[in-house]
Chain A
Amino acid sequence: MPNGILVFIEQRDGKIRKASLEALSEGARLSAKSGKPLAAALVGSGISSEAASLGKFGAQKVFVVDAPAYSLYSSEGYSAALQACAAKADPDILLMAGTAMGRDLSPRLGGRTGWGVADDAVETRIENGKFSVVRPCYSGKARAIVEFVNSPVAVATLRPNVFPQAENPVSAEVITVADPSPKIRAVVKSLESEKGSKLDVAEAEMICSGGRGIKGPENWPVIQDLCDSLGAALGASRAAVDAGWIDHSHQVGQTGKVVSPNLYVACGISGAIQHLAGMSSSKFIVAVNKDPEAPIFKVATYGIVGDLFQVVPALAGEIRKLRAE
């Protein structure tokens, strides 16, 4: 009988992604609750030395597929490698971070194996031995509790920056899994970083976003200055992107990126449903808007009703003062 929790660990350039450690920590929490053993699966090239460190977050075993074919991600390659790890680990729950890779890999694995996939979970539960997840839907306007049927393994991807990282040190046994040598037809030729890339919105712990209220692209420096005072990434509403004021890669929202940073500061953003869908699971939300009726205030933790061109520079200054203390 399959029994156990297996967490897929994503790495890029040999560095383990923070979101995967969050998923592993959540796996450890479920393991403690249910008594199921916890293992990790690591796929890449020249990454075996990273495996043992996963014991810090509770992985009792780490299954590793290490071969040149996996130096860059491929859906066919990684799904075959992960399936090979699962064949050895024999889990009934398989978790991974819902990053770009996780959301590409998990359904390919699901198609390959017939295992059910619940994506973008913000909560996981084991009740009476039954695994379920809670996931946002309808642009975050509702939440669904999802259960699995006809699925010997339940696969779930976890939304990044929602689950806390927690150390649960154990000694991890590293187990090499033979390269299944799958055919790989969609090949990544190269990775390109975003030009002039400052912090990427999808990875940032803090984000300051500008919307229609900034009035024009010449005013981005006002928001960027607040970003710099915090070490935050720069985000934008759809209105700002559609107006051509900034590249789509900064867009937060339904048809942009879904983010859940520790702090989200919305400047001159009214808070349309589609924007809220992209940021409402942020831990703390600050809204700066001159319209007291702006819907953004309904989801904010803190709000300032006022002119952002006065408030934002003042806020950047106060933050710099506090941080200098």
Chain B
Amino acid sequence: MNLIACVAFVPDTATKIVIGGDGKSINETDVKYILSPYDEYGLEEALKVKESQGGTLTVISAGPERTQQGLREALARGADDAVHIDTGDGVLDSNAVAELLAAQIRTMPHDLVFFGKMGVGGDHAQTFAIVAEKLDVPHVSVVIKMEVKDGMIHAEREIEGGHEVVEAPLPCVIAAQKGLNEPRYASLKGIMAAKKKPITVRKPADLGVDPASAIRTVVAKLELPPPRPAAKILTGDPAEAAKELARLLREEAKVI
């Protein structure tokens, strides 16, 4: 099988967010970067399919130079090779990233392309679907369970109050949800082996994509959320605090 996992290298979710000088992005000083958590579920599922069905796994990421650290981590977990689409310090949106990824994937055989259901940081849930549409393949998102059999994928997709049972022929794009699997840690052996695995660097121009004209949305301003008023804290006797809280919920908040 020809397997692809698209990953993003993003600020750790514990990062304290400081608005940068341009007012449109975060200050990157002292920010720690990690593989986007949902992408880890996609990567893990790709590794599992490779183990059970054979084939090769290529990981792809679009971003600045630091992205290669994320690709090394994915190689250490078991991917065979990697492609870094070097976007330098360009500011891209989901559509531009999707065009770059699709342009790269089109040059390779692909049976299953894995994403996370959402990109942490920007917190967008778009790239997987735009890529699928541009590759003219079906996609299944928010996948909590899947099986590949006889050229088809059988998946469960999480929706409000339950799940959908979905079938799609390969090639297909999958967007993984938490709970699909348990991502592995890279072993020491894997980390050593990763040093020898190839990372091919491509520029957008190599792929025939001009990121600036592929952008459809821009962040005009990034701000911290408005400060909240302090909580009304009730202490003392639990029974009395509970009674006062119930009264507030009825008379002040009017929710009951």
Contact = CB atoms under 8 A, between A and B. Distances in A.
A315 B246 contact: yes
B216 interface: yes
A319 B243 CA distance: 8
B187 interface: no
A206 B238 contact: no
B166 A188 contact: yes
A87 B110 CA distance: 33
A195 B134 CA distance: 37
Contacts of B122: 137
Contact of A301 (B121, B124, B162, B231): B231
A197 B162 contact: yes
B216 A151 contact: yes
A307 B238 contact: yes
Interface of B: 11, 13-17, 19, 26, 37-38, 93-95, 98, 120-134, 137-142, 156-169, 172, 178-179, 213, 215-225, 228, 231-235, 238-239, 241-243, 245-250, 253, 255-256
A319 B246 CA distance: 6
28 contacts: A106-B126, A107-B94, A110-B130, A119-B126, A120-B125, A136-B225, A137-B123, A137-B222, A138-B11, A141-B224, A141-B225, A144-B222, A146-B218, A148-B217, A151-B217, A192-B163, A230-B256, A256-B178, A277-B13, A286-B249, A300-B231, A301-B232, A302-B249, A304-B233, A315-B245, A318-B242, A318-B246, A319-B249
Nearest to B134: A111
Given A142-B224, A248-B179, A284 B253 contact: yes
B14 A138 contact: no
Contact of A111 (B98, B241, B248): B98
Interface string A259-294: 000110000000001100100100110110000100
B129 A111 contact: yes
Contact of B167 (A99, A120, A189, A280): A189
Interface of A: 72-73, 75-76, 79, 99-101, 103-104, 106-108, 110-112, 114-120, 132, 135-151, 185-194, 197, 200, 202-203, 206, 230, 248-249, 251, 254-256, 262-263, 273-274, 277, 280, 283-284, 286-287, 292, 297-307, 310-311, 314-315, 317-319, 321-323
B224 A314 contact: no
B234 A302 contact: yes
Task: Classify the secondary structure of A's interface with B.
Answer: mixed
B39 to A, nearest CB: 12
Q: Please name the 3 residue pairs, one residue from A and one from B, whose CB atoms are nearest each other, closest first.
A: A116-B216, A111-B133, A314-B242
B13 A273 contact: yes
Contacts of B221: 144-145
B208 to A, nearest CB: 16
B131 A111 contact: yes
B102 to A, nearest CB: 9
